[in-house]
Amino acid sequence: MIRLSRGIALVGVCATIAACAKKNNAADSAAAADSAAKAAAATTPPAAPAPAPLTDANILGLLDEINMADSANGSIGASMGTGADVKSFAHEMERDHHMMRKSGQDLAKKLNITPAAPAGDTLPAFATKMQANLKGQAKGAAFDKAYIDQEVAVHQFVLSALQSFQTAAQDTSLKAAVTKSTPTIQNHLDKAQKIQTKLSAAPAADASKKK
CA distances to 23, 29, 30, 36, 48 from 39, in Å: 24, 15, 14, 5, 20
Q: What is the pLDDT of residues 109-161, one digit of tens each?
A: 999 999 999 999 999 999 999 999 999 999 999 999 999 999 999 999 999 99
First to last CA, the chain: 105
Q: What is the pLDDT of residues 22-32, one digit of tens each?
A: 444 444 455 44
Query: Which percentage of the chain shows pLDDT scores above 90?
Result: 70
Report the pLDDT averaged over residues 52-68.
95
Q: What is the pTM of this model?
A: 0.73
Q: What is the SS3 assignment for 111-165?
A: HCCCCCCCCCCCHHHHHHHHHHHHHCCCCCHHHHHHHHHHHHHHHHHHHHHHHHH
Q: What's the CA gap between 127 and 133, in Å, rounded? A: 10
Q: What is the pLDDT of residues 149-205, one digit of tens each?
A: 999 999 999 999 999 999 999 999 999 999 999 999 999 999 999 999 999 987 655
Which pLDDT belongs to residue 52? 75
